[in-house]
Amino acid sequence: MAAIEAAALGYPSTSPTRGSGPIHRRRRRLTLFRVIVFVVMGTFFLVPILAMFEFTTRGTGLGAARTLTAWRQIFDYPDLIDAIVVSLELAAITSIAGLLLLVPTMIWVRLRLPRLTRVIEFLCLLPLTVPAIVLVVGLAPVYAWVTYFFGSSTLTLAFAYVVLVLPYTYRVLDSGLSAIDVRTLAEAARSLGAGWGTVMWRIIAPNMRSALLNAALLSVALVLGEFTIASLLSFQNLQVAINFLGRANAGVSISVALASLFFAFVLLLALSFVGRRRPAPVQEEE
């Protein structure tokens, strides 16, 4: 729709030769606006990133050359490496567990328990209303039991993280499910003799690939950036480690922070290419 809007404004499909009419004038104003916005915003957002990069490549002493010492030193801090690894593991576990918990439930509710839709929606919106800082207050006693059963590994944070990602994953999965006609697909499969497991795993899930991927990667981004719960439950994850190290060695901590930022960015950028491409409309043969 935006393309048509753009086309309606004469952008970018107008031929470049004529440029006088009201539509061209509007297009030029719009382009100017867009350029200004992108440049200003781009500067605002890129400057701190650049500053981080600049900071981490400073040499010691006045006028020293740029150096990658800060980056190399990452490997001198085993605790930091551990924290990175743990965070990556947590990201993987959380995204998979979140999907395993939500996807079958949402499909099932759509097909068999439509009255629960509102309830599920509310429950998934709740974590936005109960902020992490508040949740952690109530989680502390719960985690006493968790460590009793599952030990005190940092990976137990996954239980809390699944809750944190619920609002985002729910929204993505919901629009993914809305885009495909779940009911018809399920009925067609069932009429051909498929069991529920087959329906979910082999019929519906493949049609939601981009939504699933989207949800997984959003979870990854969130987990990598999470600080509050880990810190206040006294676990060591990536952000906690960075924060801790920040007092001692700013350069290294900032370089890790920058790296994690880029990592998540590349992930999401790659995702945007995997997303459902609008198939070219098939021309009817005349």
What is the closest distance, in whole angstroms, from the C-beta atom of residue 75 to another protein in the complex?
Answer: 20
Instruction: Report if residue 243 touches another protein, rule: CB under 8 A.
Output: yes
Question: Using an 8 Å Cβ cutoff, are 279 and 218 in contact?
Answer: no
Instruction: Report if residue 54 touches another protein, rule: CB under 8 A.
Output: yes
Instruction: Report if residue 38 touches another protein, rule: CB under 8 A.
Output: yes
Instruction: Report if residue 276 touches another protein, rule: CB under 8 A.
Output: no
- What is the DSSP-derived secondary structure letter of residue 154? G
Q: How far apart are CA 259 and CA 70, in angstroms?
A: 12
Q: Which residues make Cβ contacts (< 8 Å) with residue 22, sequence separation at least 6?
A: none
What is the closest distance, in whole angstroms, from the C-beta atom of residue 280 to another protein in the complex?
Answer: 13
Question: Smaller CB distance to another protein: residue 172 or 208?
Answer: 172
Q: How far apart are the first and last CA of the chain?
A: 27
With CB under 8 A as the contact rule, which of the stretches 35-43, 63-71, 77-85, 148-156 interacts with another protein?
Answer: 35-43
| 263-269 LR contacts (CB < 8 Å, sep 24+) | 263/224, 264/220, 264/221, 264/224, 264/225, 267/217, 267/220, 267/221, 268/217, 268/221
**Interface pattern 83-112 for another protein (x via CB under 8 A):** ------------------xx-xx--xx-xx
Question: Smaller CB distance to another protein: residue 74 or 224?
Answer: 224
Segment 107 to 136, residues that bind another protein, using CB under 8 A: 108-109, 111-114, 116, 120, 123, 125-136
Instruction: Report if residue 144 touches another protein, rule: CB under 8 A.
Output: no
**Interface pattern 172-211 for another protein (x via CB under 8 A):** -----------x--xx--x---------------------
Buried b (16+ CB within 10 A) or exposed e, 97-132: bbbeebbbebbebbbeeeeeeeebbeebeebeeeeb
Determine if residue 109 is left, alpha or beta; phi over 0 gives left, psi from -120 to 50 gives alpha, anything else beta: alpha
With CB under 8 A as the contact rule, which of the stretches 17-25, 69-77, 149-157, 205-213 interacts with another protein?
Answer: 17-25
Q: How many residues bind another protein (CB under 8 A)?
A: 110
The 10 Å Cβ neighbour count of residue 215 is 24
**Using CB under 8 A, which of 84, 99, 139, 203 touches another protein?**
139
